[in-house]
């Protein structure tokens, strides 16, 4: 996958040798074979990267908006030029089907850069009114911790607004999907990012992630990951009172009101839940339907699940690749078994690999029905291609079930009555509500209520997470 760069980190404008000699093996989830190794970072590597970012901060935070716009423009052009290389890398390191990588994983990542370019172009960093100025200034050095399920997408979702704000960054990508991050670091170098503005250190959360969170010279930590990881980062960051932005777990509902278009909406709901092999924190994995329509929904859902083509992600006909890594595969399989043990009625799928696949972290698209709120499969984030169908009695019960979760990241709502849909949407406790499957927007703020996190990403809200507010009286 990579050559020299796999054993180097990008620090202070150059590829540099890590402090130690330990390495991390990277596996292809389709074959379970080792496809490469990367250096495993240490606390010393983090110190070097943070020091470089701190030295660069004063100059970059005072750079002109025009200079930052030009940098974002160069990044955007190079992302488009290298889109196929990124797509092929995502296939190898996380098992994304090539068609999905080309149509979603990479284009959505590019869109984050475009959106932040537009936001920066029109944003007012200084407003004056009634003898008082309100200045919005770059917060400082930012530690960015990104996950393995949308590797490039989550990198640009954090790096682009940080750059737009005038911050300097140290990126810690998932050590399970490091090659796309290494390609991105080379892209940043080729885009002529000033030395120290962007730095990359690969390693484990326990070492590199913790060192970033604890570091007194890091002003903000932005993490996308599990709720468990988010809690650990927040605890480590507390002693230095730095800002912590967390985009964490989810168990999103998809509420079908009785006036919804079921023949259209149910198949789309299955697709949304199982997109990216179900490895999306906002995936609508709880389908809430009127009890009287349960049999109809089951039939529609099972028929759609049967259309997925599970197999080699390099094959253009494949629509679902493997789970991205061994640990997550084991968790998904365990929760499918738990669903059966707790009395969930299996509509399709089940434990084990699909027929004909003897190797790789492949999972059968699985749907349970008659799922009760107390079951693990209704409460826990599975992060795999597993959908649960839950019947409700009336609209009030549907809203109650939608909110009966410790998470609050996303939600979907289907209805033929726009005003009714808006009224119900306002009662769902989540950071986003999608009515009748609208198009994704990189301008829409993304983040969660409850244990789904703190803060928001994307658009102007994402930019403002990287800014401090200063009031200047008597201006």
**Catalytic machinery residues:** 247, 281
- Angle 250-255-260 from CA coordinates, rounded to 5°: 150
How far is the CA of 294 from the CAs of 361, 368, 388, in angstroms? 31, 12, 12
- Residue 414 tokens, joined: 């289907």
Please, are residues 202 and 11 in contact by the beta-carbon 8 Å criterion?
no
Please, are residues 223 and 244 in contact by the beta-carbon 8 Å criterion?
yes
Residue 140: name the closest of 39, 218, 36, 43 by CA.
Answer: 218
Q: What distance in Å separates the CA atoms of residue 45 and residue 42, rounded to the nearest whole number?
A: 5
- Residue 309 tokens, joined: 């083509």
Please, are residues 14 and 8 in contact by the beta-carbon 8 Å criterion?
no
Distance of CA 351 to the CA centre of its chain: 26
Q: What distance in Å separates the CA atoms of residue 202 and residue 209, rounded to the nearest whole number?
A: 9
How far is the CA of 200 from the CAs of 8, 189, 295, 453, in angstroms? 9, 11, 51, 24
Q: What distance in Å separates the CA atoms of residue 128 and residue 136, rounded to the nearest whole number?
A: 12
Q: Is 442 helix (H, G, I), strand (E, B) or coil?
A: coil
How far is the CA of 408 from the CAs of 27, 235, 286, 367, 391, in angstroms? 32, 21, 13, 22, 20
- Residue 92 tokens, joined: 């190898």
Q: Is 298 helix (H, G, I), strand (E, B) or coil?
A: helix
- Residue 313 tokens, joined: 């992600």
Q: What distance in Å separates the CA atoms of residue 368 and residue 101, rounded to the nearest whole number?
A: 28
Burial (CB count <10 Å: 0-12, 13-18, 19+), residue 114: middle
DSSP secondary structure, 30-75, as one string: TTTEEEEEEE---HHHHHHHHHHHHHHHHHHHTS-HHHHHHHHHHH
């Amino acid at each position: 996958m990579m050559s020299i760069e796999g054993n180097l980190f990008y620090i202070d404008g150059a590829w540099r040798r890590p402090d130690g000699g330990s390495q991390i093996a990277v596996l292809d989830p389709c074959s379970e074979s080792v496809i490469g190794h990367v250096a495993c970072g240490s606390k010393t590597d983090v110190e070097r990267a943070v020091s470089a970012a701190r030295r660069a901060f004063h100059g970059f935070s005072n750079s002109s908006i025009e200079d930052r716009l030009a940098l974002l423009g160069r990044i955007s052009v190079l992302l488009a030029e290298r889109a196929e290389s990124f797509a092929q890398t995502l296939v190898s390191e996380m098992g994304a089907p090539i068609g999905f990588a080309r149509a979603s994983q990479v284009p959505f990542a590019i869109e984050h850069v475009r959106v932040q370019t537009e936001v920066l172009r029109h944003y007012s960093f200084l407003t004056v009114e009634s003898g008082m100025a309100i200045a919005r200034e770059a917060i400082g050095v930012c530690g960015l911790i990104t996950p393995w399920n949308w590797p490039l997408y989550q990198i640009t979702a954090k790096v682009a607004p940080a750059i737009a704000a005038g911050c300097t960054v140290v990126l810690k990508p998932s050590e399970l999907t490091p090659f796309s991050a290494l390609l991105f670091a080379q892209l940043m170098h080729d885009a002529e990012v000033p030395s120290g503005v962007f730095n990359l250190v690969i390693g484990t959360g326990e070492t590199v992630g913790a060192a970033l969170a604890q570091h007194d010279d890091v002003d903000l930590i932005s993490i996308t990951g599990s709720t468990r990881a988010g809690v650990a980062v927040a605890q480590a960051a507390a002693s230095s009172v730095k800002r912590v932005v967390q985009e964490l777990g989810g168990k999103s509902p998809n509420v079908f009101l009785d006036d919804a278009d079921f023949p259209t909406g149910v198949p789309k709901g299955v697709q949304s839940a199982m997109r990216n092999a179900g490895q999306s924190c906002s995936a609508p994995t709880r389908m809430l339907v009127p009890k009287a329509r349960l049999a109809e929904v089951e039939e529609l859902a099972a028929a759609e699940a049967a259309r997925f083509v599970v197999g080699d992600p390099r094959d253009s006909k494949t629509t679902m690749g493997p789970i991205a890594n061994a640990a997550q595969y084991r968790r998904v399989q365990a929760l499918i078994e738990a669903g059966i043990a707790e009395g969930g009625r299996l509509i399709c799928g089940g434990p084990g690999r699909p027929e004909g696949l003897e190797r790789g972290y492949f999972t059968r698209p699985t749907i349970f029905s008659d799922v009760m709120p107390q079951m693990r499969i209704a409460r826990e984030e599975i992060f795999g291609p597993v959908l649960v169908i839950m019947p409700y009695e009336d609209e009030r019960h549907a809203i109650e079930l939608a909110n009966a979760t410790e998470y609050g990241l996303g939600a979907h709502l289907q209805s033929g009555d726009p005003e009714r849909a808006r009224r119900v949407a306002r009662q769902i406790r989540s950071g986003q509500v999608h009515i009748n499957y609208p198009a994704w927007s990189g301008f829409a703020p993304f983040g969660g209520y409850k244990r789904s996190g703190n803060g928001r990403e994307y658009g102007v809200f994402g930019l403002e997470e990287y800014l401090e507010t200063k009031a200047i009286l008597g201006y």
